[in-house]
Amino acid sequence: MTAQITTSGIPFDAQGQAEESRRRDLAMQAFVRDIAMTNAVQLEACVRCGLCAGACHFFVTTGDPKYTPIRKLRPLEQAYHRHVGPFAPLFRLLGIAPRVTAEELEQWQELIFDSCTLCGRCTLACPMGIDIADLVKQSRHGMFAAGLIPDRLELMDRTTKLWGSPATPAEDFADIIRETGEERGVAMNIDKERADYLVTVAPAELTEHTKALSDAAKVLNKMGYNWTYHSKGFEASNIGYLNGDIELQEKMTRQMIDTAVKIGAHTLILPECGHAYGAARWESARWYGEKVPVRVIHMTEFLDEAVASGKLKLKQINQTASLHDPCQLVRRGGVLAAPRNVMKALGLDLKELADAGAVGWCCGGGGGVVSNKRADPIRYRAFELKRRQVEDANAERFVTACGQCRITLNLGANKYKWDKKVDSLLELVADNLID
């Protein structure tokens, strides 16, 4: 792993010792392998109106047109037109579908990783309906194959392959669960042979957000459900999904689903993590190879159903609150009402942000950006947008349902000495259960 700089002065990281031409070929193969009818239609449909730029927090806060979302697809698009598109042979013959160069891939690393949170606001703004965020994610497959991803993300990838989680070795998981339960006085279930609910976690919950572990347990215990955490299938954030490592994505997906099936669980509960939802709820069938035989739901959906069914009674907080909508959960996942329903059940008077729900601004740290140190300066600029809207809403509390969003927002708050605490919806529920 070495940090390098392109001839045009753009920093990039490269993994392995492959020659540049080899990297380019590997990226091309991966790009081409991924292209199917749906994404071909979308790669063909752009009219270069540039309206996606106005939806991107990185363009809006920097004014730099290089961050225009559709531009981030250039290597993938070139690969498509040169090798896959209906006129590919003609374009090659006439020399009008240029080969992607290794230098271009190196330059585009910053655009595909550092300055894209996969939030999909651009997708919503695109008049042609091009799912730009999905195509950027697809571009990451080629970048990973070429060994051209940010080192920080590659480190998480390697750690996950080695440990089964980017946060902690899988063999320590059971101890963390037990210790958290003991510390907080909550009965924890771990590695049960049979359970109806398999509860999974996000990496931050094994480090700075351990309260979420006992809070999930507290809620499930309260409901009297047969549930468990499991050392063989606990990691839900799926680093492969973010990094473009499709083998790891498949492995992490299978690990969770296979464990759920093995213990006879009918429901797999995902943690408060947006990307976990994108990876497991909407993409797991692709990697599992067939329809997933268990129900996959986000913790927020679980809480919403529990409250709606009357099985979970909550104390009233009676304060005003704003909600940060995690992009993968709301804009790209359709879970719009659930967090609002739970907040209402908590007696929180919702003060919506100026841009809320499907059009809400990203926290700025999704898509692995918060883990990519190099992206800190533009991430902090993106945070400014959110801070302004939260301040304008002027609510007493600020709530979200994604641990990565919380981390990103708290980093921003620390940086700017902003005294707004970001609450977890799960933690609010667990702290306000009626005995």
Partner 1 sequence: MELLQFSRGPALTFAIAVFLLGTLWRLIGILMLERRRVDAEARPGTPTPLAAAASGVLAKMWPHKTFLKSSLFSVLNGYVFHIGLAISVLLFAPHVLFVKSLLGISWPALPSNVVLAVAVITAGSLLASLVHRLTNPVQRLISRIDDYVSWAVTFLPVLTGIAAVAHIGGRYETLLAVHILTVCAFLIWFPFGKLMHAFLFVLSRGTTAIRFKQRGAEV
List of residues contacting partner 1 (CB under 8 A)? 35-38, 40-42, 44-51, 53-55, 59, 65-66, 68, 70-71, 84-87, 123-131, 281-286, 290-292, 295-296, 330-336, 355, 357-359
**Smallest gap from residue 34 Cβ to partner 1 (A):** 9
Report in angstroms the alpha-carbon separations of 170 from 157, 191, 233: 15, 12, 9
- Residue 375 amino acid letter: A
**Smallest gap from residue 371 Cβ to partner 1 (A):** 25
The length of the chain in residues reads 435
Q: Which is nearer to partner 1, 48 or 417 (CB)?
A: 48
The conformational region for residue 296 under phi > 0 = left, psi -120 to 50 = alpha, else beta, is beta
**Smallest gap from residue 102 Cβ to partner 1 (A):** 22
Q: Residue 342: enclosing H or E segment and its boundaries?
A: helix 337-345
Order of all β-strands in the sheet with 295-298: 227-228, 197-199, 267-270, 295-298
Q: Which is nearer to partner 1, 51 or 174 (CB)?
A: 51
- Residue pointed to by tokens 């080899």: 22
**Smallest gap from residue 40 Cβ to partner 1 (A):** 5
**Smallest gap from residue 173 Cβ to partner 1 (A):** 27
**Smallest gap from residue 401 Cβ to partner 1 (A):** 16
Q: Which is nearer to partner 1, 44 or 151 (CB)?
A: 44
**Smallest gap from residue 260 Cβ to partner 1 (A):** 14
Q: Which is nearer to partner 1, 162 or 354 (CB)?
A: 354
Give the C-alpha separation, 24 to 224, whole Å: 55
Structure letter (DSSP) for residue 112 = I
Q: Which is nearer to partner 1, 44 or 104 (CB)?
A: 44
Helix ranges restricted to H, 274-364: 274-276, 283-288, 299-308, 337-345
Q: Which of 310, 233, 311 is nearest to 269 (CA)?
A: 233
- Residue pointed to by tokens 């709530």: 399
Can you tell me whether residue 412 is helix, strand or coil?
Answer: helix
Q: Which is nearer to partner 1, 3 or 41 (CB)?
A: 41
Q: Which is nearer to partner 1, 129 or 169 (CB)?
A: 129
CB neighbour list of residue 32: distance below 8 Å, 6 or more residues apart: 79, 80, 83, 84
**Alpha-carbon dihedral of residues 412, 417, 419, 420, nearest 10 degrees?**
-10
Q: Which is nearer to partner 1, 169 or 293 (CB)?
A: 293
The conformational region for residue 400 under phi > 0 = left, psi -120 to 50 = alpha, else beta, is beta
Q: Which is nearer to partner 1, 265 or 314 (CB)?
A: 265
Through-space distance between the first and last CA atoms of the chain, rounded to whole angstroms: 53
Q: Structure tokens of 254?
A: 């299978």
**Smallest gap from residue 127 Cβ to partner 1 (A):** 6
**Smallest gap from residue 287 Cβ to partner 1 (A):** 10
Q: Which is nearer to partner 1, 85 or 164 (CB)?
A: 85
Give the C-alpha separation, 396 to 373, whole Å: 31
**Smallest gap from residue 246 Cβ to partner 1 (A):** 13
CB neighbour list of residue 211: distance below 8 Å, 6 or more residues apart: 184, 424, 427
Q: Structure tokens of 242?
A: 């973010």
Structure letter (DSSP) for residue 98 = P
Bridge-based pairing of strands 11-14 and 2-5 is antiparallel
**Smallest gap from residue 124 Cβ to partner 1 (A):** 7
